[in-house]
């Protein structure tokens, strides 16, 4: 798929940067538990499809905000999770995050991903982190090809001064664990401050979602339920318009629409244009898009969308944008 190819290209670029010593890492405050949660969400459907169980164990002693590179952490976990799911046909995947050390300035954490998959033979363990290496050439075809996953993980961990370890038993499964240090801070992350500020004021929003891909529908459903927002999900622009019309008739109005841009029958651009021009509705609309191109963004604005958010969805950003728009709308309504 496009996203898998995109990920592969990013990994290749990152590997070449690490090799050339040009990889730079951010040092920003972020909510670590939230980052892990968002990363793991994106595997929900895959895990359901393979009938696996996902177990999450998180050490409550870890400070809620740490300083480091959340994007790189996300990339490491994504690659380890993809690997675990790819080679596990039954059983469970366990993701653990543990506090190893803490002083005045830093925390050292151990992350591990354990699967009940095919396991790795002893003589192949050394090779597993090599570029494009898979434990047995034979496994590559039956388990959906090979990639740069584990190689990029090793490079990303070591480039940040961390270490990675593998324990595996053939036929029983594997555990990949890595240790990384993060800075401590008294500052709240940007997201946390925003969310705290908004939370009390706007609680139960009613959201209409137009999205045709089942996985994305599931993820949005989980995210909106977490926010405590009431929501209806439809599969194309026509259905969104019908829902909006019947809601205004019954006076059970929506507060905001999340609109995928590329859908069958009627896409997000056409639906928004209809809502703005024909229905004369000013309901806030946020575009959901997998590929943010400048052309898409300017077209979104042109036809009357209020904002856009790219997939995979960053929950905090989505929350912030939704609440900001609804609050702005309510202000202009009351003034």
Domain ranges of the chain: 2-184, 190-334
Q: Token pair of 286, please?
A: 């946020």
Of the chain, the percentage scoring pLDDT greater than 70 comes to: 80
CATH code at 2-184: 3.30.565.10
Per CATH, 2-184 and 190-334 having the same topology is answered no
Nearest-angstrom CA–CA distance, 180 and 77: 12
Q: For residue 296, give the nearest of 257, 323, 268 by alpha carbon.
A: 268
Beta bridge partners of 179: 110, 163
CATH code at 190-334: 3.40.50.2300
Q: Write down the pLDDT at residue 97.
A: 97
C-beta separation of 189 from 237 below 8 A: no
* Range 23-32 average pLDDT: 83
Q: Is the pTM of this model over 0.85?
A: no
Q: Write down the pLDDT at residue 242.
A: 95
CA-to-CA dists, residue 1 to 5, 8, 176, 294, angstroms: 6, 11, 26, 22
Q: Write down the pLDDT at residue 311.
A: 78
* Range 84-109 average pLDDT: 95
pLDDT band at 146 (very low <50, low <70, confident <90, very high): very low
Residue-wise pLDDT for 196-222, tens only, equals 445 555 667 899 999 998 878 888 888
Q: Token pair of 51, please?
A: 């009938």
Nearest-angstrom CA–CA distance, 32 and 180: 12
CA angle (162 as vertex; 33, 74 as ends), nearest 5: 35
């Amino acid at each position: 798929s496009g996203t898998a190819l995109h990920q592969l290209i990013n990994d290749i670029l990152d590997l070449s940067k690490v090799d050339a010593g040009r990889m730079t890492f951010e040092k920003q405050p972020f909510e670590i538990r939230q980052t892990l949660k968002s990363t793991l969400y994106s595997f929900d459907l895959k895990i359901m499809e393979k009938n696996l169980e996902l177990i999450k164990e998180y050490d409550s002693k870890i400070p809620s905000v740490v300083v480091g590179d959340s994007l790189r952490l996300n990339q490491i976990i994504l690659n380890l999770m993809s690997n675990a799911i790819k080679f596990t046909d039954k059983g469970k995947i366990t993701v653990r995050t543990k506090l190893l050390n803490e002083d005045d300035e830093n925390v050292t954490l151990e992350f591990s991903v354990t699967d009940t998959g095919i396991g790795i033979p002893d003589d192949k363990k050394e090779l597993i982190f090599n570029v494009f290496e898979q434990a047995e050439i034979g496994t590559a075809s039956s388990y959906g090809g090979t990639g740069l996953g584990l190689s990029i993980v090793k490079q990303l961990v070591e480039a940040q001064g961390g270490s990675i370890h593998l324990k595996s038993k053939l036929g029983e499964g594997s555990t990949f664990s890595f240790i990384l240090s993060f800075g401590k801070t008294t500052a709240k992350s940007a997201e946390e401050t925003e969310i705290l500020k908004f939370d009390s004021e706007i609680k139960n929003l009613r959201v209409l979602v137009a999205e045709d891909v089942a996985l994305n529908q599931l993820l949005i459903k989980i995210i909106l339920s977490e926010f405590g927002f009431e929501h209806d999900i439809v599969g194309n622009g026509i259905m969104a318009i019908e829902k909006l019309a019947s809601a205004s008739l019954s006076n059970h109005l929506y507060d905001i629409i999340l609109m995928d841009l590329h859908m069958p029958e009627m896409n997000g651009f056409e639906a928004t244009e209809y809502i703005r021009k024909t229905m004369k509705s000013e309901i806030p609309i946020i575009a959901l898009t997998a590929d943010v191109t400048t052309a898409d963004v300017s077209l979104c604005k042109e036809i009357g969308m209020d904002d856009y958010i790219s997939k995979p969805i960053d929950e905090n950003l989505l929350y912030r944008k939704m609440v900001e728009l609804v609050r702005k709308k309510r202000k202009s309504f009351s003034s």
